[in-house]
Every structure is written in structure tokens, then in C-alpha cells.
């Protein structure tokens, strides 16, 4: 009696499972991706942290849903996000687009960030009605980094790849980040490193603590 046909069926079944994972897992991650996007959307700031620690700046982070015209991933949610000092909201120092999507293979929610090709064009985009927030696919710019978020109880926690992401920001050639996303806000350990591996900016002994504005 030969077991080769049986083993062939088993192996083919494994391959099919890898190619087309169970619907239940996909549905769960779809819900998680929507929850991550919902927690990011809105306005948060670090005013409470700045009030308690004079070495911290009061930074506002504004995030909103956008519509992509042209090429896009059908299972992804697209967001626009900008950060600025609360005293200079018209001059954001960081602008990015985020693609939030489920990944069954890594069992995480992926947050892929893009640097806008023409950032000045999108300043204050979240002040517009959602129907007017239309971004051409070519204006998304270059993908710069990915954060892998996994649900942990009521929260989502994640980080960039171990080696970080290539960058050219304020003297840093590589950036890393660790993120914990709560219902009430988020904490980040955003750090930039130069070519010698020395940290040149970012969190050191305390995370950046963003809290949702009421």
C-alpha cells in the first residue's frame, strides 16, 4: 500500500490553507484593522504630558479618513495624519498617509506610512468634509515604514521592524518606533539614529503620551 497519494493530498491541503487562510481569521483581522483606524482618527495631543514635564512639547496629532482615487488596496483603510506644535498648527512638522490593512499571514494589522509627494498641498486636509478628502494614488508618495500591530487585551501594541526603517529626517538615517494604541490615546517611542547608530532625536526615558481631545 502506497502512502504517497495521501501525503500529496495532505501537503496540497497545507498549501491551500497558506494561500487561502480561514475566513474566520480574515474576518477577525478585518475588524481589528477597522478598530485600529477608528482609534487613530481624531485629534490627540500631549498637553497633559507637557504640563507635567517642562522638557516636553505640547504636540497635536490630527488624523482623518481619506479617499484614494486610482490604484489602492481594496481591503485597506487610508488615513491622513499630521503633527504640529499646538501653538503652530498651520506649520506641521510631520505629514504622512497611512494604509491600515489586515495581514492573516503575520496575524497582525499593518500600518504602512507614506511620505506625501507634495506635503504642502495637504496641510489642514482634515478640516475639509470627508467627501472632499480625495487623494490621487500618485500623491501618496513613497512608502517609508511599517508598524505591525497586534491586539493585546483592549489595546493594540506594535513596532517597526527590528532594524527600523530607512530615513532622512533631522540627521537620522534610520528610525524605530514602538506604539501602544488605547481607546483614550496612544503612546509612542519614536527614535531617530544617525549612520553610526547614535540616537539623535526622539524618546529616551519617557514615551510620547498622546491623549484624545474631548
Confidence class for position 168, pLDDT limits 50, 70, 90: confident
The per-residue pLDDT for 114 is 95
Segment 191-207 mean pLDDT: 92
Percent of the chain residues past pLDDT 70, beyond the cut? 88
pTM: predicted TM-score of the whole model, two decimal places = 0.85
Distance CA 199, CA 26 (A): 38
**Tell me: the pLDDT tens digits for 14-51?**
343 454 455 766 788 999 999 999 999 999 999 999 99
Domain boundaries, the chain: 25-212
The per-residue pLDDT for 12 is 37
The per-residue pLDDT for 103 is 87
Residue 179 has pLDDT above 60, yes or no: yes
Mean pLDDT of the chain, nearest integer? 87
Q: Which three cell numbers stand for residue 70?
A: 486610482
Quickly count: other Cβ atoms within 10 Å of residue 167's Cβ: 17
**Strands of the sheet with 191-193, listed across from one edge:** 165-169, 172-176, 191-193, 199-202
Confidence class for position 140, pLDDT limits 50, 70, 90: very high
- The radius of gyration computed from the CA coordinates of the chain, to the nearest angstrom, equals 20
Q: Could you tell me which CATH number the domain at 25-212 has?
A: 2.40.128.590
The per-residue pLDDT for 127 is 96
Residue 11 has pLDDT above 80, yes or no: no
The count of residues in the chain is 214
Amino acid at each position: 500500500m502506497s502512502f504517497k497519494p495521501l501525503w500529496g493530498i495532505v501537503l496540497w491541503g497545507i498549501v491551500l490553507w497558506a494561500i487561502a487562510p480561514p475566513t474566520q481569521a480574515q474576518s477577525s483581522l478585518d475588524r481589528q484593522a477597522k478598530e485600529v483606524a477608528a482609534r487613530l482618527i481624531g485629534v490627540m495631543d500631549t498637553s497633559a504630558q507637557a504640563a507635567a514635564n517642562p522638557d516636553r512639547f505640547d504636540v497635536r496629532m490630527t488624523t482623518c479618513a481619506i479617499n484614494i482615487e486610482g490604484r489602492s488596496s481594496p481591503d485597506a483603510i487610508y488615513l491622513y495624519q499630521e503633527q504640529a506644535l499646538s501653538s503652530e498648527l498651520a506649520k506641521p512638522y510631520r505629514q504622512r498617509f497611512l494604509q491600515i490593512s489586515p495581514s492573516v499571514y503575520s496575524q497582525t494589522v499593518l500600518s504602512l506610512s507614506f511620505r506625501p509627494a507634495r506635503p504642502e498641498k495637504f496641510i489642514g486636509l482634515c478640516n475639509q468634509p470627508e467627501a472632499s478628502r480625495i487623494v490621487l494614488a500618485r500623491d501618496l508618495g513613497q512608502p517609508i515604514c511599517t508598524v505591525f500591530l497586534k491586539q493585546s487585551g483592549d489595546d493594540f501594541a506594535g513596532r517597526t521592524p527590528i532594524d527600523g526603517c530607512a530615513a532622512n529626517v533631522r540627521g537620522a538615517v534610520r528610525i524605530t518606533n514602538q506604539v501602544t494604541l488605547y481607546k483614550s490615546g496612544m503612546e509612542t517611542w519614536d527614535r531617530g539614529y544617525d549612520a553610526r547608530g547614535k540616537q539623535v532625536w526622539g524618546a529616551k526615558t519617557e514615551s510620547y503620551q498622546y491623549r484624545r481631545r474631548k
